Structure 1
Amino acid sequence: MRSRVLLAATAAMILLLQPVPARASGQVATLSRTSVKPGETIRVDGEGWTPGQLLQFVTCGEGGLTGSAACDTRAALATPVRTDGTFVVDLQIGDPPRACPCVVHIGEVLGASGEDPVDLPIILAGHASGSLPAGATQVRTLELQDYYLSGRSSAAWFGAAEHLTLTFTVRNPTTSTLVSAVLQARLDGGGDDNVYFQQKVEDLKPGESRTFHVPVDIPMFAFGRYVAHADVSGLATVTLRYNAYPWGLFLINIGGLVLIAWGVWRRFRRRRVLRDLSPADAMLPAVVRLGSLGAFLVFDDAPGARGLRRHAGAQLSLDSLRTLIGDGQSHAHGASVLDLDALGHVLARRYPRGISLLEEEKE
C-alpha cells in the first residue's frame, strides 16, 4: 500500500514538471527542460507579456512562495519583452539557498503593469529537498502610500553633488505575512541603471505599513534628468524624477560673456574716437612722459589717475610747470623745451578739468 502511494506521488510530481505552458493573466512561459543540475543552461520562451517590460528570471527554492530570500539572486537574469510580447532567454540555473520544491520565477523587475509573476516548477538534481513552509502564502501586492525626495540644496545650482533621500511607505493589504522580500533601487540618467542599493524586508504583517529611506546620490556637475526607481520585490514600485540643471553656472558664464562683449565694444568705441581725433588732439595721449624731467604728465581722465595721484602725493599747477620747464620768454635762450602757451591752449580746450604731473619713481 505504501509503495502505491509513493508511486502515485512520484507520478503526480512528474506530470507537474512536464514542459507545458504556465499561464497567469494571459502570460505564457515554458522551459526547454525541467530536470537539470545547478549551473546548466536551459531556454525559457514566453508570449503574452507587456511589450518593453523588463523581466527577471531567477531560480528559487520553497516553491518561490517565501520571496527572494529563497532565490539565487546571483544567477538572476533580466531581459526586456519584445514588441510582440514574446521573449527567448538562455538561463543559467542557479543554486537556491533554500530546499526544493524549486521553480524558475519570472516577474516584472519594476512591477509597473501589475501583471502576476509566473513560477515554472523544475527539478534540481543533487539539491536538497523538503516541504513547503507551513502557512506559506505568497504576497502578490503591496500598496504604495506615500513617497517623496528630500535633501535638495541650493549648491546644486552651481554643479555641486547632491545627497538626496527617497522616502516611501508601503502597506500590506493582504491577509498573509510578507515573509521575505528585497528592496532594490536604481538610478537612470547617469549612464548606469544597475541596482545600487538593496535591503531585506522581513515579516511585513497583514495591514502593517513600513517606511523605507533610500539614498540617492546625484554626481557633481550632473546635467539632465535623473530617474530614481525603488521597488519591494516588484510588488510596490516608486519612480521619482530629478532635474539636474546647474543654472547658477549658466548665469556665471552668461555674465562672463556679457563682460567680454562689453570690453570688446568699449575697445572698439575707443578706437573709433581716436580715429576721429584731429592730429593736434591725437598728439596728446592721456599720459605723457617728460624724459628731461624724469616725470609723467597724467591727465585727469587717464585710467587710474586718481590712484596715481594718491601714490605721488603731490600735484603741480600750470604755474609750477612753467617754472620747471621755462616760459615762452626764455625760449630764445634755449631754456624752454615746450611752447607752454600753445600747450596750455590745447590742454585747456581738451581737458577743462585740469591736469596733474606725477613724478616718476627713481630706480
Structure 2
Amino acid sequence: MSRTPGPSAVSRAAAALAALALALLPAAPTPAAEGKPAVALSQQEAAKGAELTATGTGWPARTLVMLLVCGQNMIGGTNSCANADGVAVSVADDGRFTARLPVAEPPKPCPCVVNVASVNGDQSTVAVPLKITGHPVADLPAESGSARLAMLTGARLKGGDGVLTWFGAPPSRRFTATIGNLGSAPVKDPVFQLGTGHGVFAPQWEEARWKGTIPPGGKAEVGLDVELPAGAHGDYTVSLKYGETVLATQPWGVDRPYGVLLFWALLLVVIPTALFRLGMAVVDRFRPRPGAPGRHRGSGPAPEGAAAVTARLPKVPPAGVAGPPPPPLPWFTPEPREAGPPQTSAPSENRPTTKGHS
C-alpha cells in the first residue's frame, strides 16, 4: 500500500527548492526607499583595466545617467574623475539601468568612488565606494567651505512687488538655488553670503544662514531672503557666495516707485488749494457786513446832518432850460464893501494911485 506524502513533507520540499534557487541567483542590489535612486556594483574591489557591472534602481524613468570613476571621494568635483572613460546609459521605464564600466585610473589617489549622476531630470547623484587594486591611496585633503558645496542648477529670484513697493516700500525677493555637497562629510546649517550690487558698483555682502543639512553626495534647494533699501530702483545684481567662491549671480531689475511721484504731485496741488481756502476763510471772517455802522465809508445809512444839507441844495434844471438863478450859498456870499469909485484896473507899483482931478 503506497503512502501519500503529508502536508508537512510538501512544505519542506518547497522550502528546500526556494533556498536552492536563491543560492544560484546572483546577488541583487540592496533595494532603496521608494523614489530614492540606488546603485550596486558587481565588485567592491577591482584592478585597473577590469570591467564592472553597475545596476541602478529607483531612478527617474527615461533619463540619462553618467557613470565616472573618481578619486578622493570626488572632493573638488569632476576634476578628480576619469572623465574620458565615463559611460552614459538610459534609464528604463521602471527606473532601472545596467551599465558596464571600465575601471580606469582616476587622476587623484584613492579612496575612490563610482559617481552616478543624472544628466537630466531631477539631477540625482549617488557615489558608491570602490577599491582599485594598485592605485595609490592618500589621506583626504582638508575640506574647506568652497570645496564641499557646489552649484547644481541655476539660481532664481522668486516673489513680486506689492502695492506698498509701488509707494516706496523696500523690494524683497527669495533667492533660491539647488546646492550639492561634493564632500565626504555632511554640511549642517551652512552660512552663505548674499551680495547686492547696484549698476556697476561692487556688491555689499551680508551673511545669511540656511537652516538644514546637506548629506555627502546629496543636494538641497537653498532659499534665502534678500531685501533692498526703501525706494530702490534700477538694475541690481544678487550674488550667492560660500566661503571664497561665488556660486551664482542673478540680475534683478527694480521698477521706479511711481506711486511716490504721484503722491508728491497730489501734495503740490492739495497744499496750495488748502492754503487758498484758509486765506479766503480768514478774509470772509473779517470782511465788513452790509448794515454794520462805522465799518466803511458809504456803507449803511447816511448821517443825519448830511441828509439835511442835501435837502437844502437847489435843484439844477435840465440842459437847455433856463431857470431862475440859483440862490447864493451862505458860505459863498461876498462880504459888503465900502462905497467908492470903481477901480478900472489893478494898481501898479510903478505909477501912483490917482486920488482925484487937479
TM-score (norm 1): 0.35
Q: Kindly indicate which of the two structures has a greater share of residues assigned to strand.
A: 1
Q: Which of the two has higher C-alpha Rg? A: 2
Q: Kindly indicate which of the two structures has a greater share of residues assigned to helix.
A: 1
